[in-house]
Amino acid sequence: HRLLLENAEQLVLVCGRREPYLRQDGAASLGVLRAASLVVGLDGCIKAVGQADVIRNQFSEATFERIIDCSGKCVLPGLVDAHTHPVWAGDRVHEFAMKLAGASYMEIHQAGGGIHFTVEHTRKATEEELFTSFQHRLERMLRAGSTLVECKSGYGLNLETELKMLRVIERAKKSMDIGISSTYCGAHAVPKGKTATEATEDIINNHLPKLKELRLSGEIHVNNIDVFCEKGVFDLESTRRILQAGKDIGLQINFHGDELHPMKSAELGAELGAQAISHLEEVTDEGIVAMARAKCAAVLLPTTAYMLRLKQPQARKMLEEGVIVALGSDFNPNAYCFSMPMVMHLACVNMKMSMNEALAAATINAAYALGKSDTHGSLEVGKQGDLLIINSSRWEHLIYQFGGHEALINYVIVKGKVIYENERCEAMSSY
């Protein structure tokens, strides 16, 4: 076998019965085992989870590539970041000062800043430059505990640059240990010199057919399609056409909706069978009910509302209505955050989620938002062996310590392989 984790103080299963997601009622019991062990096989999948003495007897004759003593420590599923924009060049630190001085997101966008500033720099950057910075960003996400990350294109807005970004993401999928779900987000903004209608036609007639061809030839494996459905960007009708065209070539629908204005994005997503919708700061009550019925996940991004001083998404109302709530960091030049533990902390404080709900939202439900909850997001036999070991006797420290993950996350493990080992943890107690 590949790995044995022995005698953890707490082993947090998240799900115990192959649930594809947890709603509010299910999140109360994350299934915490005490004095427990876990075994990962050579195929990278979990073979056994249970009481330490039972596992010791069951595997007394087995050999392991690695054994880690988890006494006094906690084992959790690897975190899943359901929404990031990690491939781009040129940071927007200068815009942070403008925002602090009161400029709104759309004011900066209309003045040629925002997405357009990043597009300009990303178009000029070589594939190599983009790959190098992307790799460093993924490594930082990994050290903060993310083992599966959704990665979007969307700073090209022309076919050539969008494909350049998707190739960079594809390269990381093949060369790095971190799990990646890739998203084509060519409808992230209306490119300069085009109307929204012209941009929509270009995407439907040129981008998507090319993407279909590259998927069939196996050159690029895109998972999701995204559109920024927003007033002054893509309206409901353009969004519908683009998402439907993406769905027709086999992409999962996973898009930005109802962020700055109520657009009825949630209702549209429910109708089209979207896997997930992100943002939803301005979602309507009808939209919430529609998403709950359609089992369409809500990917909430507490960093965005925090940085832009927007109204927080109504996480409590969504949970009470039975929506599947997931979390994402929204890492991008406007919200420079790599850390899902910080996102969970913000979700609890600013969106009034419980710690159990936040952990479920950053594991099983985020995996569900990417269509991967059958293999990721919980510690169950048969699932991929992606997990964290934290240097604390209670798992809640991962959320409670705001920005404390750098000395708290002891090991990050993907498919049973230790891909990050944190020396700082050995020298100190977490308290």
The answer to whether the CB of 238 falls within 8 A of the CB of 246 is no
User: What average pLDDT does the chain have?
Assistant: 96
pLDDT tens by residue, 110-121? 888 899 999 999
Predicted confidence (pLDDT) at residue 27 exceeds the cutoff of 70: no
State whether CATH 3.20.20.140 applies to domain 80-370: yes
Q: Is 66 helix (H, G, I), strand (E, B) or coil?
A: strand
Domain residue extents for the chain:
3-78+377-427, 80-370
Q: Identical fold at 3-78+377-427 and 80-370?
A: no
Over residues 248-288, the pLDDT tens digits come to 999 999 999 999 999 999 999 999 999 999 999 999 999 99
Mean pLDDT of 197-202: 98
Q: Which tokens in the block code for residue 53?
A: 């003495």
Are the beta carbons of 171 and 177 closer than 8 angstroms? no
- The CATH number, out of the four listed (3.30.70.20, 1.10.3720.10, 3.40.50.2300, 2.30.40.10), of the domain defined by the range 3-78+377-427: 2.30.40.10
Apex CA 126: angle with CA 124 and CA 127, to 5°?
130
Q: What is the DSSP annotation of 322-385?
A: T--EEE---BBTTB----HHHHHHHHHHHS---HHHHHHHTTHHHHHHTT-TTTSSS--TTSB-
Look at the block and give the residue holding tokens 């690029």.
220
Give the pLDDT confidence of 339-357 residue by residue, as tens digits. Answer: 999 999 999 999 999 999 9
Nearest by Cα to 145 from 81, 69, 83: 81
The amino acid present at 191, given as its one-letter code, is: P
* Helix/strand/coil percent split, the chain, to 5: 40, 25, 40
83, two tokens? 């929404």
The DSSP element (H or E) to which 278 belongs, if any, is strand 276-279
Residue 105 has pLDDT above 90, yes or no: no
Query: 86 φ, ψ to 5°?
Result: -95, 0
